[in-house]
Copies of this chain bind each other. A is one copy, B any other.
C-alpha cells in the first residue's frame, strides 16, 4: 500500500504528496539531518523560521547514547527532538562505513525494532555501504548482503514506514538487480544509497547512471530518497531523475569548515569579499563582517545561510516542475560545473525512460539553453510522432521553408500558409524546417512546436540535430517534387546536405514558392478539415475520421481553431495549452465509433463508475486497465469494465503509473455522461 500520490510531473520529476502519521508532505522535500543531542539550530526554529517540514535523525546514535536512548524510549523520537512533524531515522549504515565499525556493532533486526519503539515515521534498514574504491566484486557482495537484510527486515516493519535502500555502487547492472529485487518487497521509501563519496568527488554522471538504473525497476508509487545528497547545486538535476526526498547534513558540516553553499557551487567564506546571495543572513551582514566574527557566531550564521539557500532551491525545484521548467533550471545549474553539464547530457541520453515519464504538453515555453536542448524529450517525441503519424499516401509537392523564429508561423509566411490552405495534402505539403525538426503546417499550434524559442544564431549541434530529423522525415514521406525556400537563417545551411536524401529545387523568392503551391491546386480543399484530420492522426493515430456535417469554429482574435460542433453540439474543443483536441462526451463517442486505439482508453473498476458519471475524477485505485503506451497529459476515454464510455478527460499519469498508484487522480474528468 502506497502513501504517495502525484500532483504534477516533468521528465521523471514529480510534485508529490507523501502521507505520514505526522502529516502530509509535499515533495520534493529536504530533511535537515538533526543530531539528537546537539542541534545547533533547534528543530522548532528549523520549522518556523526556515519552513522545513520533516527531519532525519540517526537511530544508531540515539541507541548508543544512554541519555538519548532513555528519553527516546519514554517520549519517542518526537519527544526527543521536541517537534510534532514527521521524522525519518537512519540506521547507522553510514557510520558503519565511515568509522569502519565491526559487523557485530549493529544488529539489522534490532535496529529496526528500536526505530519502531521510538516511533519513527520512516525507519531505514541497515544495509551495507560500499566504498566506490573497493571494486565490483566487493560491491556485488555488499549489495547481496543488503538484499538479504532487506528481506528479513521488511516483515518486521509493522506500522512504521520502512525505507529499503538500493545499493550497487557505480555499476548499473548491480543497481538494476538491487532495485528489481527490492521492488518485490513492500518498502514505503526507496533510498538510493552509497552516493556520498560520488557527490564529494563531483561524479554526477555516475550518480545519474546509478539512479536511472534503479528508477527503471522501482515502483513508481513510492518516493525515492537520494541518500546523502544535500548540496543545492544538484537538487534540480536529482529531481529530474525522479528523486523525491533529500537530506542535508552538509549545511552544518560545511559551516564548520567555513564553507558557503550556493546553488551554483561552494565557496570558502574566506575567499569572499562580497556575499553573493539574497538570504536574510547575506542581506544583513557583509563578507567582512562574517569573516571578522568569532568562529562560533560565524558558524551559526553560515549554517543559517546554507539552510536558507538549500530550502529555497527546493522551492525553486517545485515551482519549476509545476511550470515544466525543471529541465531548464537543471541546465542553468549545469553551468556551475562541467561535470554537472556532462551528467545532464548522460541523463538526456536515456530518452526512453524519460519519455515514458514525461507528460504531453507543459504550461510554459521551451527555451534553448545549449546543446542539451537538442535532446529535449518533448522535442524529440514531437518529431518522432510526426514521422510516425504524419503520413499521407503520397504528395505531389513538398514545400520546405526554414523557421524564421517568429511564432505563430503564420506571421513569417502568411502568403504561403494562405496558399497551402487551398490545397489537399495529396497535392501540397508545407513543412517548416526548425532546429528541432519538421513542423508540418497542420500541426503548427501543437505543443511544443509553437512554444519553442531558439536564439537566432544557432550552434552546429542544433543545426545538425535539425538536419538529421529533417532527413528522417524526408525518408518517411513519398513526394513527387520538393522545393526549398532560401532564407538568410542558420537552418538554411542544411539544404545542401539534404540533397543526399532527395532532389530539392531551390527557390529564392517567396512569391515563386507561392506560385508553385497554387499551381498544384486540383480541387477546392477544406483546410480546417485537413488540419483536424492531421490532429486526429497525430493525437490518437486515427485515420480518415468522418466529419461530415461538422462545423469548425475559429477564434476571432487568433484565427486558430476553437471547437468543432455537430448538429449544434460541441464535439471537440482545442486546448490552447497543448494545441490538441479535447473531446466532449459526444466527441468521445465519435472516437469510439472510429475505433480509437486501446492506448487511449482507461478501464475503470465498476465501483468508480457512479463517481465518474457525476463528473468526479477517475482515481488511480479504481483503474482496472491502462495501456503502457499511454502518456500523462493525453486526452483519453474513461470506460467501465465492459468497455462502455463513462467519461472523457486528461490523463494525470501514464498507463503504468495508473495501475501502480493507489492514491491520487488517474484521469481528470472533463465531461461525463
Pick out which of these stretches binds chain B: A98-106, A114-122, A208-216, A267-275. Answer: A267-275
Instruction: Report the bound CA distance from A183 to B590 in whole Å.
Output: 74
- The interface residues of chain B lying within 8 Å CB-to-CB of A670 are none
Instruction: Report the bound CA distance from A309 to B283 in whole Å.
Output: 9
> Is B331's CB under 8 angstroms from A335's CB?
yes
A327 to chain B, nearest CB (A): 11
> Is A338's CB under 8 angstroms from B367's CB?
yes
Name the residue on B nearest A50 (C-beta): B283
> Is B274's CB under 8 angstroms from A315's CB?
yes
- The interface residues of chain B lying within 8 Å CB-to-CB of A368 are 338, 341
- The interface residues of chain B lying within 8 Å CB-to-CB of A328 are 335
Interface residue A319 (Cβ < 8 Å from any Cβ of B): yes
Kindly supply a per-residue 1/0 record for chain A positions 355-370, scoring 1 wherever the CB is within 8 Å of any chain B CB and 0 otherwise: 0000000000001111
Pick from B318, B336, B454: contact of A274, CB under 8 Å: B318
> Is A322's CB under 8 angstroms from B273's CB?
yes
Pick from B283, B459, B464: contact of A308, CB under 8 Å: B283
> With A308-B283, A335-B335 in contact, is A276–B320 under 8 Å at CB?
yes
- The interface residues of chain B lying within 8 Å CB-to-CB of A384 are none
- The interface residues of chain B lying within 8 Å CB-to-CB of A107 are none
> With A278-B277, A312-B283 in contact, is A464–B457 under 8 Å at CB?
no
> With A279-B279, A335-B331, A370-B371 in contact, is A345–B457 under 8 Å at CB?
yes
Interface residues of A in 330-383 (CB under 8 A from B): 331-332, 335-339, 341-342, 345-346, 367-371
> With A455-B345, A461-B460 in contact, is A312–B282 under 8 Å at CB?
yes
A523 to chain B, nearest CB (A): 42
> Is B320's CB under 8 angstroms from A283's CB?
no
- The interface residues of chain B lying within 8 Å CB-to-CB of A461 are 371, 459-461
> With A338-B368, A368-B341, A369-B341 in contact, is A274–B316 under 8 Å at CB?
yes
Interface residue A39 (Cβ < 8 Å from any Cβ of B): no
Kindly supply a per-residue 1/0 record for chain A positions 572-616, scoring 1 wherever the CB is within 8 Å of any chain B CB and 0 otherwise: 000000000000000000000000000000000000000000000
> Is A370's CB under 8 angstroms from B335's CB?
yes
> Is A319's CB under 8 angstroms from B283's CB?
no
**What copy number does this chain have within its complex?**
2
> With A283-B312, A460-B460 in contact, is A338–B370 under 8 Å at CB?
no
Name the residue on B nearest A339 (C-beta): B455
- The interface residues of chain B lying within 8 Å CB-to-CB of A454 are 338
Name the residue on B nearest A453 (C-beta): B338
Name the residue on B nearest A232 (C-beta): B278
Pick from B275, B279, B455, B460: contact of A341, CB under 8 Å: B455
Instruction: Report the bound CA distance from A308 to B280 in whole Å.
Output: 9
Pick from B283, B309, B332: contact of A280, CB under 8 Å: B283
Instruction: Report the bound CA distance from A341 to B461 in whole Å.
Output: 15
- The interface residues of chain B lying within 8 Å CB-to-CB of A346 are 457
Pick from B51, B276, B335: contact of A315, CB under 8 Å: B276
Instruction: Report the bound CA distance from A454 to B342 in whole Å.
Output: 9
> With A332-B264, A332-B336, A336-B332 in contact, is A459–B275 under 8 Å at CB?
no
A462 to chain B, nearest CB (A): 9
Instruction: Report the bound CA distance from A319 to B265 in whole Å.
Output: 14
Interface residue A526 (Cβ < 8 Å from any Cβ of B): no
Kindly supply a per-residue 1/0 record for chain A positions 305-331, scoring 1 wherever the CB is within 8 Å of any chain B CB and 0 otherwise: 000110110011011101100001001
Pick from B273, B345, B370: contact of A319, CB under 8 Å: B273
Interface residue A456 (Cβ < 8 Å from any Cβ of B): yes
Name the residue on B nearest A15 (C-beta): B273
Pick from B279, B323, B331, B371: contact of A283, CB under 8 Å: B279
Interface residues of A in 484-510 (CB under 8 A from B): none
Instruction: Report the bound CA distance from A461 to B372 in whole Å.
Output: 13
Instruction: Report the bound CA distance from A413 to B666 in whole Å.
Output: 57
A273 to chain B, nearest CB (A): 6
> Is B455's CB under 8 angstroms from A464's CB?
no
Instruction: Report the bound CA distance from A311 to B286 in whole Å.
Output: 13
Instruction: Report the bound CA distance from A278 to B323 in whole Å.
Output: 19
- The interface residues of chain B lying within 8 Å CB-to-CB of A370 are 335, 341, 369-371
A439 to chain B, nearest CB (A): 17
- The interface residues of chain B lying within 8 Å CB-to-CB of A335 are 328, 331-332, 335, 367, 369-370
Instruction: Report the bound CA distance from A311 to B275 in whole Å.
Output: 10
> With A264-B332, A283-B50, A455-B339 in contact, is A275–B371 under 8 Å at CB?
no
- The interface residues of chain B lying within 8 Å CB-to-CB of A459 are 371, 459-461
A314 to chain B, nearest CB (A): 9
27 contacts between A and B (CB under 8 A): A51-B283, A51-B286, A273-B319, A274-B316, A274-B318, A274-B319, A274-B322, A276-B316, A277-B278, A277-B316, A278-B309, A331-B335, A335-B335, A336-B367, A337-B367, A338-B367, A338-B453, A338-B454, A341-B368, A342-B456, A342-B457, A346-B457, A370-B371, A371-B460, A459-B460, A459-B461, A460-B461
Residue positions of A touching B, CB distance < 8 A: 49-51, 264, 271-280, 282-284, 286, 308-309, 311-312, 315-316, 318-320, 322-323, 328, 331-332, 335-339, 341-342, 345-346, 367-371, 453-457, 459-461, 464
Given contacts A338-B455, A461-B461, 15 further A-B contacts (CB under 8 A): A51-B283, A273-B319, A276-B312, A278-B309, A279-B280, A279-B283, A282-B312, A282-B315, A332-B336, A335-B369, A338-B367, A341-B369, A342-B455, A370-B371, A460-B460
